Amino acid sequence: MADQSSLLNRRGLLFILSSPSGAGKTTISRKLLAADGQIKLSVSATTRPPREGEVDGLHYQFVSNEDFDRMVEEDDFYEWAHVFDNRYGTPKGAIREALKEGEDFLFDIDWQGTQQLKQKDDQDVVTVFILPPSLAELRSRLEGRATDSGDVIDGRMARARDEISHWAEYDYVVVNDDVEQCFEKVREILHAERMRRTRQTGLIPFVRELME
């Protein structure tokens, strides 16, 4: 039997994953993009310099502070925020038109960006917050990266506590104790949200035809 989603038109969604640094949202995001061809990553603009291996336009749009200021003034962002002395923002671009065609977008953003995005397009937004199993485990993961100094990790832990305090503002909360189990839960949320009646734009004509 064919999946209903392949038979009926639907509106796309903006799928947001947030978590403190080190809690796993980047890993879950990559696994979701690799496993699901119907969702694409929303590419953020940022004022920070590229890291090794990052490609402009693929991982981020790397822009100057002047260009970022201009985009803010021209209301080119769904949301933007300061993160560790840099700025990140989500350009509107062709996202709104793509949503009408049933395309889904994945956002890897913090609670501030989530609030801004919901204010501008609440009907299309689905929010998921990923929690670490404990703060001790979170610190262990950050130290395991071996990329940051102790002071930087202390700063990330302080920010993590602040980010965790916003957990109740999200539609779904998942604890990342096991990455595979966490990924499956996130994937189930995405599948269920795609099937919401309000997103099934093809349901009305379909049901009318059934009733004729």
Superfamily for 4-42+103-206?
P-loop containing nucleotide triphosphate hydrolases (3.40.50.300)
Domain locations in the chain? 4-42+103-206
With contact defined as beta carbons under 8 Å apart, do 195 and 5 qualify?
A: yes
pLDDT of residue 2: 43
pLDDT at position 6: 52
End-to-end CA, the chain: 23
Dig out the tokens for 82 from the structure.
């300061």
Residues 6+ apart with CB under 8 A from 186: 17, 28, 32, 128, 130, 174
Give Cβ neighbours of residue 195 (< 8 Å, ≥ 6 apart). Answer: 4, 5
Give residue-wise pLDDT tens across range 27-65: 999 999 999 999 998 888 999 998 888 888 777 889 999
Could you read off the pLDDT tens digit of each residue along the chain, which spans 212 residues? 344 445 678 999 999 999 988 788 889 999 999 999 999 988 889 999 988 888 887 778 899 999 999 999 998 888 888 887 899 888 887 688 889 889 999 998 889 889 988 988 888 999 999 999 888 888 888 877 767 788 888 888 888 899 999 999 999 999 999 999 999 999 999 999 999 999 998 888 889 989 98
pLDDT, residue 47, reads: 95
pLDDT of residue 187: 96
pLDDT given at position 94? 67
